[in-house]
Chain A
Amino acid sequence: MRIAGNAMREAGIDSGDLVLVDRAIPPSTGHVVIAVVDDEFVCRQLSRQGDDLRLQATQAGCADIVAREGDAFEIWGVVTQVIKAMPV
């Protein structure tokens, strides 16, 4: 997938980067994942606080996306590699 946006910059993912997504890996906390939120693909880090699963951005200022009952998000796959373009 291609990434648009800078919310995951601290994880080494910049806007325009390509990421490899592996659906065969069971997602767990700490993974950078692709989730489906409101029918759109979103790249975030998966974390857990108490009973809540959260999608966290690495940049300050981005609110966490919290999965609660009846309002769950789907984890589509786990990001395993990042490919960056070099200026040429």
Chain B
Amino acid sequence: MFALVDVNNMYVSCVRVFRPSLIGRPVVVLSNNDGACIARSNEAKDLGVKMAQPWFQVRHLEREAGLIALSANFELYGDMSSRMMSLVGECAPRQEVYSIDECFLDFDGVPGDLVAIGREMRAKVLRWTGLPISVGIGPTKTLAKLANHVAKMAERKPGSYDARLAQVGQLGHVGHRDVQAVFRATEVGDVRGVGRRMSARLNKGGIRTVLDLVHADVVTLRKQFSVVLEKTVLELRGTVCMDVDHEPATQQQMMCSRSFGAAVTDLPELVEVVSQFAIRVAEKARQQAAAAGSVQVFITTSPFRKNDRQHSRSVTVPLVRPSADTRVIVAAAVRAVQQMYRAGFNYAKAGVMLVDLHPREQQQGELDLFGSSAQGRAALGTESPRLMEAIDTLNRRLGRGAVTVASAQHQPRHDQHAGRQLRRSPRYTTRLEEIVTAKA
């Protein structure tokens, strides 16, 4: 059995832990340069604020409905994420961190009532970190993801699904009447991997609900759509096609992480591996025409080496403007490692994650805007899409790593990473001068 665990409205929830006055009020979080809504509280969703909607379109709700807008604070989200992930990871033999706020758990071989385990996990994460999570459990990843969607909707909109599925939901036996009822009540577009365009085409062919999809002929679906959709349908029927770790990159985050063959103890070596991860993930971003607003890096020792002293940290570096430039990403990652590293530990794993992803076209427009000023041109000097294109071509032809950066030597000035954030919330958990004050 698999579980998909994620944090409800992650970015908003992180701030609410330290600012209780925001609980119950409509809150949105804006992207790095305060352009678009990248997270919404349930109350903001109920006001009709859409994902990625430009701020200027909903700004009027500030006065009319008490909407509160905050700038992104990826340093806070990254730190809260690693707290949540480490707690959740203790609950199952295998964990795949899928993005900043979601992970899959593989409960293979775990006896007992998984729903009860899920409820305990939820209570513990809420108590220890303050973050509300939803847990979806199912025999395949696709069913776990669907169960997670159902768990969230059952809580947010009572009546939409069986109340017993709220917060922690299980879609266990596909043939069961309760599961069939969920399938009937869910539109195909809510299934992971079925995009808006595909669901429109499916609807045209008479496939509207998940139940329709499950009963459709897979061979026809593969011919008309893709092997991926075929796999999705098989997974909805309970056949495992996707194991933990076999994941296409999500649209919101990209990650490159790995356990080291041998423990790494010194800084130059750690900088080197993390640079490699950063290079890989920057390349991935360019392949998907995406640019990252922030770079999150973690390093950790191995909890399985009981005799080792343990150290595990994660740091998020915001970028001035979204970038997929290897040099910018590597420089940010190296800075993060230098900040986190402590001598005398056997580091076993590290990772680089690009968060706050933007499509590259959008970024081009902003670059042109900046390009008209002298300051903009100077900043442009650090960014070079054509150079990156050339590097990617060479690496494809000559093999990965043929052309790379001398990472440790590349140190950008600190002010390049400041980011333009007017409504940023304090970094409550990572900066001593920004911690919460309590009255006595």
Contacts and interface: CB of A to CB of B under 8 A. Distances in A.
A70 to B, nearest CB: 16
Given A23-B130, A24-B127, A40 B439 contact: yes
Interface in A1-23: 1-8, 13, 15, 18-19, 23
B48 interface: no
Interface string B114-129: 0000000000000111
Interface stretch (B274-282, B314-322, B347-355, B430-438): B430-438
Contacts of B23: 39
A4 B130 contact: no
Nearest to A8: B440
A34 interface: yes
B436 A1 contact: yes
A44 B439 CA distance: 9
B21 interface: yes
Nearest to B130: A23
B20 interface: yes
A40 B20 CA distance: 7
Nearest to B127: A23
A5 B127 contact: no
Q: Which of A18, A23, A36 has the most CB of B within 10 A?
A: A23
Contacts of A15: 440
A74 B127 CA distance: 11
A6 to B, nearest CB: 7
Interface in A25-74: 34, 36, 39-44, 57, 74
B419 to A, nearest CB: 25
B440 A3 contact: yes
Nearest to A40: B439
Contact of B437 (A8, A41, A74, A76): A41
A13 B440 CA distance: 9
A23 B438 CA distance: 15
- Interface SS of B by simple majority: mixed
A4 B439 CA distance: 5
A4 B440 CA distance: 6
A43 B436 CA distance: 12
A34 B128 contact: no
A81 to B, nearest CB: 14
A21 B435 CA distance: 12
Interface string B395-411: 00000000000000000
B335 to A, nearest CB: 27
A7 B20 contact: no
A4 B438 contact: yes
A19 B438 contact: yes
B438 A3 contact: yes
A1 B440 contact: no
Nearest to A21: B438
A2 B436 contact: yes
A2 B437 CA distance: 5
Interface string B16-37: 0000110100000000000000
A2 B435 CA distance: 7
B439 A5 contact: yes
B128 A4 contact: no
Contacts of A5: 439-440
Given A23-B127, A23-B130, A36-B20, A6 B440 contact: yes
A74 B435 CA distance: 19
A41 B438 contact: yes
Q: Which of B23, B436, B440 has the most CB of A within 10 A?
A: B440
A7 to B, nearest CB: 5
Contact of A39 (B21, B128, B129, B437): B21
Nearest to A11: B440
A23 B130 CA distance: 9
A43 B439 CA distance: 6
B128 A23 contact: yes
A4 B436 CA distance: 10
A77 to B, nearest CB: 9
Given A2-B437, A18-B435, A43-B438, 16 more contacts: A1-B437, A2-B438, A3-B440, A4-B437, A4-B438, A4-B439, A23-B128, A24-B127, A36-B20, A40-B21, A41-B438, A41-B439, A42-B439, A42-B440, A43-B439, A43-B440
Interface of A: 1-8, 13, 15, 18-19, 23-24, 34, 36, 39-44, 57, 74, 76
24 contacts: A1-B435, A2-B438, A3-B439, A3-B440, A5-B439, A5-B440, A6-B440, A7-B439, A13-B440, A19-B438, A23-B127, A23-B128, A24-B127, A24-B128, A34-B438, A39-B20, A40-B439, A41-B20, A41-B436, A41-B438, A41-B439, A42-B438, A43-B438, A74-B20
8 cross-chain pairs, A with B, having the tightest CB-CB distances, nearest first = A39-B21, A41-B438, A5-B440, A43-B440, A8-B440, A7-B440, A43-B438, A1-B438
